[in-house]
Amino acid sequence: MEKGFHQTTMRDVAEACDMSPGALYRYVGSKGDILYLLLSRGADIDKEICNTNLDAANDIGWTEIMRGLLRKHMQIVHDAQDLFIFNYTEMRNLPRDYRHGLLEGAARVVAFYEKLLLRGVEAGEFEVEEPNVVAHNITVLCHAWAIRRWYLRKRYTLEEYIKKQTDYILKAIRGNPHRLAGSREDTGQRASTAIKIKQSS
């Protein structure tokens, strides 16, 4: 789309495909159809992470499930980075009646992360107050390797980016392990607070 979506005609597309306009119309009915097919491909790739088997958490725990999922997601983004950038930049050009299915697919990815977070909270491994917000943040951080590549590639390799983002996310969702375990520092703080309350009463 060298001319941009709105300036490109079906005749332009047909010429680029070395087809006649009539032949092209046998497969698609409009530019919107073509854009939808391209964007759907990117959305389908992103949804691959939803096929991750969560049953393994019984053996390795939710932290390791999340660690593996983040690596898989960022690798997927890396392998199809041009498609992800295309999705981010061209979604606005998609006719409104085409968007529903694609947005549902994006919501599935977020819902999958949210489910994982909630299961981790139930198991006592994660401490997350707003799992839906955190799930959105995780998705964006995975996509950032593509949409911010103009800057990130100058500073990190893919492996470095995966490690840094994974460490950051796990630190954020695991909370304070010392507080959860009842550390000496936490016990001391509670005792100090109790003394102050007693003195003021």
Taking only the tens place, the pLDDT of each residue in 75-131 is 999 999 988 888 888 887 777 777 877 778 888 999 999 999 999 999 999 999 999
Token pair belonging to 120: 């981790």
The pLDDT of residue 185 is above 50: no
Count how many domains the chain has: 1
Residue 121 lies in a domain: yes
Of 78, 112, 94, the closest CA to residue 40 belongs to 94
What is each CA distance from 83 to 17, 55, 80, 193, in whole angstroms?
A: 19, 31, 5, 55
- 132 is a domain residue: yes
CB 3 within 8 A of CB 13: no
The verdict on residue 138 lying in a domain is: yes
What is the pTM (predicted TM-score) of this model?
0.74
Structural domain contains residue 15: no
Q: Which positions ≥6 away from 69 have C-beta within 8 Å?
A: 49, 52, 113, 116
Please, what is the average pLDDT of the chain? 82
Percentage of the chain modeled with pLDDT above 70: 84
- Asked if residue 24 belongs to a domain, the reply is no
The length of the chain is 201
Q: Is residue 68 part of a domain?
A: yes
| Averaged pLDDT, 15-22 | 85
- C-alpha closest to that of 35 among 70, 66, 8: 8
Distance CA(17)–CA(168), nearest Å, equals 45
State the CATH number of the domain containing residue 51: 1.10.357.10
Residue 7 domain-assigned (yes or no) = no
Residue 13 lies in a domain: no
Range of the domain at 128: 38-179
